[in-house]
Structure 1
Amino acid sequence: MKIWPLIVFIGLIYSPLSIADNRISVVFINPGQSDSNHATGGFWSSVTRFMKAASDDLNIDLEVLYAERNHFRLSKLVREIGERETKPDYIILVNEKGQGGIQLEEAISSNIKTMFILNTLSSKHDIERYGKPRATEPNWIGSLIPDNYLAGYMGALSMLNAASKSETPSNEKIQAIGIAGDHITPAAVLRNDGFKKAISEKSTAVTLRQVVVGDWSEEIAMEKTMGLLSRYPKISAVWSANDPMALGAISAAKSMGRKPGQDIFFSGLNWGPKALKAIQNGELVSSIGGHFMTGGWALVLLYDYHNGIDFGDKDASVTMQIFDKIDICNVDTYLSAFGAQNWDKIDFTRFSKSLNPELKEYPFSLQGIFDYGLRTATKP
C-alpha cells in the first residue's frame, strides 16, 4: 500500500515553512547549447526542462544561463553573477572540460553557496586545493553525480549480449569498437571505464578493436565509424557515450550496407527522442539515461537543505545510480508517459524529505517516478 499522499499532507502541515513562504533563488550555469537542435543533441535542453518542472513545484526562482559549449564562458558567467547587486541563494555548476575549479573560485569569492551536478572536480590541482565539498570551503555545499561508470557498463553489456545472440560463427569473437565523448570530462572518463570493464569481463568472447573520440557529435561519430568499419569490416558491436554519436554510427553502418540490429549492434546514452525511435525500430539495442534529471533532483536537495534537512550530513559528495536502461522491453511504456517530455506530470514535492518526514531515501530514478512521483490524474 502506497502512503505517499498521506506523507505529502503531513509534510505540508509540519514542515517549518510552507513552499509559498520560503521561495529560494537558484542560477544554473548550463555548459551546453541553448539550441536543442545543435549537433551535440538536446541533452542540455532536457536538463533545463526537467529542472524547470521541479522549480515550479518547489517554488524556486530558477535562472538558466548557457555557455553555448564554450567552456571558457563558464567562469565568466559565474563572475558576472557574483557582480550582481542581488545575488542568488545558490548556484549550480558543471565541471565541463576541467573548468570546475575556476568556476568554484569565482563562486566562492562572491560568497554564493555552490553545488556541482553531473561532473564534480577531478583534476589533481583542484582536488588538492579544495578536497571534497565543505572540507575547505563551507560555501561549496555539495555535489550530485550520477553513476557514469555504471552507465557505460550497462550500455556495453546490453550491446554485447545482443551481439552474442546474432548469427556470428561460434568460433569467432565479437569485434567491438567504442566511441567516447572526450578524454577529459569526468563523466566521459567514467563511461569509458565502464565500457572497458564490460569488455574485459567478456574478453574470451570479445575483441576490442579501437576506441575513438567523437566529441559528442553525430557527424563526427559518423565519419569515424565509416573509417573504422573500413579498417575492421567484421565489427559487430559499437558502443557510444551518447545517443547522437550512436545515431551517427548507425548512419555510417547503413551507408556501408550493414544492417543495424541484425549483423551489427549499437548502444547509446541519453534517452534522446531519435534514439528511442531507433530502439522501437530495432536499430539501437538500448539507451542508458535519466541523468538529465540530475539537475531537478539537485533542486530537491537544495530545497531540503534550505529547510533544514541536510543531504550532506554524512558525505556531501553524493553519487546515485540515477541512470536506467531503456530497451525494446520498456520503450513504449516510457514514451507513453513522457514521450512529449511533459515533466509537469511529476509532483516533485513527493521527493522532498522536508515535505515528507517519513521518506528515508531519495527515490531518484525512473522507477521512483512511476511508483511515487506521478500526479494522481496521470498514473496508468
Structure 2
Amino acid sequence: MMKALPRLLLAIAVCFLVTDGAQARDPSVTFINPGAERSGDVWELMPRFMKAAADQLGLRLEVVYANRDRIRMVELAHQIAARPVPPDYVVLVNEKERAPEMMEAFRGTASRLFLIHNDLSADQRRLLGNERGALANWIGTITADDGEIIRALMGGLYRKTTGEPRIIGIGGDVATPVSALREAAMRDFVAGSGRGRVLQVVPGNWERDDARRKTASLLARYPDANMVWAANDSMALGAFDAVADGGRRAAVRVGGMGAFPQALDSVATGGLAVTSGGNLLTGAWCMVMIRDYDDGVDFAAAGGARQTRGTILLAEDERSATLFRGLIAEPSRIDFRRFLRSADPRKAGYDFSIGTVTAAAR
C-alpha cells in the first residue's frame, strides 16, 4: 500500500499538470466594449453571443466596459496593454473614431488585434494603414453589411406603408462612421426605389428619449409623414413612442435596425412595423475567426483580412420576431463549432447567413 501511494500521487499530479496545461493553451481574448453591461442595446447583446461562441470554441473571453466614455476606452486599452501578461487577442470597436488610439497602445505587444462593428474611416486608414501592415499585430476586421441590413429594413417598411412614402429619419450621431453609412444606405434605397421622399434626418444620438423628442418635433413639422426610419432600435422605439403619443399609430410606420429584444417584442405585438439586424452576431463570428487563426487556419485565406459579413435578421411579423427572440435569449443554442473552417477543410469560406444559423440552432 505504501509503495502504491507515491505512484498514485504522481498520477494525480500528472492529471493536474495536463489539465493546467490544457487551460493554459486556451487563447485569451479581451473585448473592450464601448457600451454598458446593462444597456439593452447591441453592447449588452453582442457579448452574449460572443460568450456562447467562446465557451464552445475553447476561448477565454473577458469583456470590459467603457460605458460610452470615449476617454475610458483609451484608458482601458493602455491598462490592458500594460498587463504583465496581456491577452492573446484584443477585440476593439472604432466607436467615436477612437480605435487608432487604442490600437497604438498595443503596438509592439504580443496581443493580436481584431476590429469589429465599426471599421476605420478612409482617412484613418490612410494614416494608420491596413491590416497586417505598419501595425503588424492588427490581424483582422469584420463588420456587418449595414447596407444590406438597411435595404432589408427599408424593404419591410415600404411593404407596410400605404401610399407614397414620406420619410423622416432619426440618425445616430455625427462622430461615428457607421451612422453616416446607415443614412446613406437609406437614402440610396429611396433613390433606387423610384418613389418616396426623405423629408428630414436628424441625429438621435442612439438614445430612445432623444429620438422620442425629435420625432415628436418632426411629426409636428411634417404632418403628412407616414414613415419613420431609425438607425437603431433604441431610437426606433423612441420614435414609436412619439407616434403613439400623437395618436398616429395607424398612419405612420416605424422601423429600426438592431433586432433588439424590445424591438422584436414590439413587432410581435403590432408596434414597430419592422426591425432588421445583423450586428448582434458580429462578435461571435470574430470568435470563430480567432479560433481558426489560432489553430493555424488563417481566415484571411477565405475573404481577406478585412471582411464584411453579416447575418440578416428581418422581423416583420410575430413568427419571425419570436424566432429571433429565442436565439437572443439562448445564444448557446447555436452550435458555433459548425462554422469553423479548421473543423472542415472542405469549407471554401465562411457562411454566416441566417439560414445556416437557424440550421445550426439546437
Q: What TM-score comes out, normalization by structure 1 length?
A: 0.85
Moved more, 323-332 or 190-199: 323-332
Alignment-derived partner of residue 354 in structure 1: 342
| C-alpha contact 2:170 2:231 (8 A) present in aligned 1 | yes
Larger radius of gyration: 2
Alignment-derived partner of residue 244 in structure 1: 234
Counterpart AA for 1:94 = V
Specify which of 135, 138, 151 is matched with residue 136 of structure 2. Answer: 138
Tell me if 1:255 matches 2:249: no
Distance 2:282 2:43 in 1: 11
Alignment-derived partner of residue 215 in structure 2: 225
| C-alpha contact 1:236 1:265 (8 A) present in aligned 2 | yes
Alignment-derived partner of residue 199 in structure 1: 190
Distance 1:214 1:48 in 2: 24
Alignment-derived partner of residue 318 in structure 1: 307
Distance 1:88 1:338 in 2: 29
| C-alpha contact 1:290 1:365 (8 A) present in aligned 2 | no
Residues 1-380 of structure 1 mapped to structure 2, 5 A cutoff:
22-36=25-39, 41-122=40-121, 124=123, 126-163=124-161, 166=162, 168=163, 173-203=164-194, 205-259=195-249, 262-313=250-301, 315-328=304-317, 330-335=320-325, 337-338=326-327, 341-371=329-359, 373-374=360-361, 378=362
CA deviation after TM superposition for structure 1 residue 223, in Å? 0.0
Secondary structure of 1:63's aligned partner: strand
Could you report, residue by residue, the CA deviation over 1:88-124 in whole angstroms, capped at 9, with x for unpaired residues?
1110000001101111111224342101001121151
Distance 2:241 2:190 in 1: 24
Counterpart AA for 1:280 = A
| C-alpha contact 2:36 2:65 (8 A) present in aligned 1 | yes
Distance 1:333 1:78 in 2: 37
Distance 2:187 2:293 in 1: 37
Could you report, residue by residue, the CA deviation over 1:217-258 in whole angstroms, capped at 9, with x for unpaired residues?
000000000000001011001100111111111110111111
Relative to structure 1, is the Cα distance of residues 183 and 157 closer, same or farther in structure 2, using a 3 angstrom cutoff? farther
Secondary structure of 1:115's aligned partner: strand
Distance 1:122 1:187 in 2: 9
Secondary structure of 1:254's aligned partner: helix
Instruction: Give the number of the structure whose residues are more often helix, by fraction.
Output: 2
| C-alpha contact 1:150 1:191 (8 A) present in aligned 2 | no
Could you report, residue by residue, the CA deviation over 1:295-345 in whole angstroms, capped at 9, with x for unpaired residues?
11101100100111111136201111333312215223333x426x11111
Secondary structure of 2:70's aligned partner: coil
Distance 1:198 1:212 in 2: 18
Secondary structure of 1:312's aligned partner: helix
Alignment-derived partner of residue 15 in structure 1: none
Counterpart AA for 2:299 = F
* Larger relative contact order (Cα-Cα within 8 Å, sequence gap ≥ 6): 1
| C-alpha contact 1:118 1:146 (8 A) present in aligned 2 | yes
CA deviation after TM superposition for structure 1 residue 20, in Å? 6.9
Secondary structure of 1:26's aligned partner: strand
| C-alpha contact 1:31 1:94 (8 A) present in aligned 2 | yes
Alignment-derived partner of residue 6 in structure 2: none
Distance 1:138 1:109 in 2: 9
Alignment-derived partner of residue 10 in structure 1: none
Counterpart AA for 1:92 = V
Could you report, residue by residue, the CA deviation over 1:122-171 in whole angstroms, capped at 9, with x for unpaired residues?
151x21222220122221101001111222222122212311xx2x4xxx
Secondary structure of 2:29's aligned partner: strand
Could you report, residue by residue, the CA deviation over 1:14-62 in whole angstroms, capped at 9, with x for unpaired residues?
xxxxx878410010000001223xxxx3321111111111111011111
Relative to structure 1, is the Cα distance of residues 65 and 21 closer, same or farther in structure 2, using a 3 angstrom cutoff? closer
Q: How many positions carry a matched residue from both structures?
A: 340
Identity rate of aligned residues, in percent? 33
Secondary structure of 2:32's aligned partner: strand
| C-alpha contact 2:276 2:313 (8 A) present in aligned 1 | yes
| C-alpha contact 1:159 1:237 (8 A) present in aligned 2 | yes
Secondary structure of 2:37's aligned partner: coil
Alignment-derived partner of residue 13 in structure 2: none
RMSD of aligned residue pairs (Cα, Å): 1.8
| C-alpha contact 1:32 1:69 (8 A) present in aligned 2 | yes
Could you report, residue by residue, the CA deviation over 1:347-374 in whole angstroms, capped at 9, with x for unpaired residues?
2111111122222222213321112x22
Relative to structure 1, is the Cα distance of residues 289 and 303 closer, same or farther in structure 2, using a 3 angstrom cutoff? same
Relative to structure 1, is the Cα distance of residues 55 and 304 closer, same or farther in structure 2, using a 3 angstrom cutoff? same
